[in-house]
Amino acid sequence: MRKTAIPATCKAQGGRHSPAPACTGLLGGTFNPVHLGHLALARAARRAFGLDEVWLIPCAVPPHKTTVGLAGNADRLAMLRLAAAGEPGGWLKVSDIEMRLPPPSWTLRTLDALRAEHPGRRFAFIIGGDTLLQLHTWHEPLEVLARARFVTLARAGFGKPAPDGIRLPPPWPERLLADYREAALPDVSSSGVRARLARGESIDGLVPEPAILYIRSHQVYP
Residue 14 domain-assigned?
Answer: no
Residue 30 domain-assigned?
Answer: yes
Residue 212 domain-assigned?
Answer: yes
As a dihedral over the C-alpha atoms of residue 65, residue 66, residue 69, residue 74, rounded to 10 degrees, the angle is 60
Report the C-alpha gap between 153 and 141 in whole angstroms.
19
Count of structural domains, the chain: 1
Report whether pLDDT(178) > 50.
yes
Residue 4 domain-assigned?
Answer: no
The CATH number given to whatever domain includes residue 109 is 3.40.50.620
Report the C-alpha gap between 207 and 156 in whole angstroms.
21
Sign of CA dihedral 26, 29, 33, 37: negative
- Tell me what percent of the residues of the chain surpass a pLDDT of 90: 82
Within 10 Å of residue 156's Cβ, how many Cβ atoms?
Answer: 10
Supply the range of the domain harboring residue 74: 24-218
* Residue-level pLDDT at 61: 83
Report the C-alpha gap between 38 and 170 in whole angstroms.
31
pLDDT in tens, 38-67: 999 999 999 999 999 999 999 988 776 677
